[in-house]
Amino acid sequence: MSLLCADSPNLMATLADGGVELLWHPSLSERSGEDVVTLLEDCIAGRQALDVLCVEGAVLRGPNGSGRFHMLAGTGRPMIEWVGALAARAQHVVAVGTCAAFGGVTAASFNPTDACGLQYDGDAAGGLLGADFRSGSGLPVINIAGCPTHPDWVVETLLALAMGEVAPDSLDALGRPRFYADHLVHHGCARNEFYEFKASAEKPSDLGCMMEHMGCKGTQAHADCNLRPWNGQGSCTNGGYACISCTEPGFEEPGHPFALTPKVGGIPIGLPTDMPKAWFVALAALSKSATPGRVRTNATADHLVVTPAIRKTVRK
């Protein structure tokens, strides 16, 4: 469904330009019912080439490993069988979204449907296809994690596959395409000035950085959401909501309310990636002592109260 938001440029034109022929998509294709079953059977039998199998949503192994919680209508076969048979034929297998990649929200709590990802069960390799699975290309499952996933991540992955530009080192340790997973959500966030001075939001709608109190995990979450805005300009943090790290396995059960930062001794538990705790504590203390009044005031307001001073740019 996220892919349907890839509207600029036009999704179908972009795929066509990249040489991607869409065999079938549940929302975009006219084919349905027996036609689709025939297409899937042709792929499994090798009568139809299958370059890329994209799966969205967790796969449900329950009850008792039968997969019968999720049947493909009219076939009498569970989806896990269809997915397994198609994956064995596909040149590339792509998990679209965190549920398909790691299990996601569907696998939360006591996981009554025994949901998992295609090649991961949370952060443990395995899942439906197994840790050793490799598609026809020799690659593991490509995990375009995100809840939802960014439409451009899907399009860019498909185009890169069509151009033969995805190699093992194009993926990170969790199988995510590095073109987006080598970034952090924090990169490019409009609240960066507030972060620098640890000028923090204290309630929803405040303009300040949401790391200290409001649960933001942008300094730990792998994604380029603030470098590649959604629908041209949006992102969670731009919209005033903390990053909940939705591209990471296990994000669905953080062990605390999403919009609340867990702390020990007043220090956030989830410190920025790559930063030792002592450094963060020292930097935070220094930053807070040097916070400009403008930044401190605006951090707890819902609109700019103090604007930046105007200084002469030409000195004579």
Instruction: Give the interface with ligand SF4 as residue ranges (CB under 6 A).
Output: 185-186, 189, 191-192, 195, 209-211, 216, 218-219, 237, 243
Q: Which is nearer to ligand SF4, 54 or 209 (CB)?
A: 209
With vertex at residue 184, the alpha carbon angle to CA 182 and CA 190, rounded to the nearest 5 degrees, is 140
Q: How far apart, in whole angstroms, are the C-alpha atoms of residue 84 and residue 105?
A: 22
Q: Which is nearer to ligand SF4, 16 or 190 (CB)?
A: 190
Q: Which is nearer to ligand SF4, 113 or 238 (CB)?
A: 238
Q: Which is nearer to ligand SF4, 124 or 285 (CB)?
A: 285
With vertex at residue 310, the alpha carbon angle to CA 306 and CA 315, rounded to the nearest 5 degrees, is 160
Least CB distance from residue 282 to ligand SF4, whole Å? 18
Q: How far apart are the first and last CA of the chain?
A: 58
Q: How far apart, in whole angstroms, are the C-alpha atoms of residue 154 and residue 161?
A: 11
Least CB distance from residue 284 to ligand SF4, whole Å? 12
Q: Which is nearer to ligand SF4, 116 or 243 (CB)?
A: 243
User: How far is residue 6 CA from its own chain's centroid?
Assistant: 15
Strands (E), the chain: 52-56, 59-60, 71-72, 77-78, 92-96, 115-116, 120-121, 124-125, 142-144, 263-264, 267-268
Least CB distance from residue 195 to ligand SF4, whole Å? 4
Q: How far apart, in whole angstroms, are the C-alpha atoms of residue 8 and residue 27?
A: 18
Q: Which is nearer to ligand SF4, 58 or 185 (CB)?
A: 185
Least CB distance from residue 222 to ligand SF4, whole Å? 12
Least CB distance from residue 176 to ligand SF4, whole Å? 18
Least CB distance from residue 257 to ligand SF4, whole Å? 16
Q: Which is nearer to ligand SF4, 166 or 207 (CB)?
A: 207
Quote the DSSP letter at residue 300: T
Q: How far apart, in whole angstroms, are the C-alpha atoms of residue 43 and residue 31?
A: 15
User: Which residue is closest to ligand SF4 by CB?
Assistant: 218
ω into 9 cis (within 30 of 0): yes
Q: How far apart, in whole angstroms, are the C-alpha atoms of residue 151 and residue 180?
A: 12
Least CB distance from residue 194 to ligand SF4, whole Å? 6
Q: Tell how strand 120-121 and strand 59-60 pair up.
A: unpaired
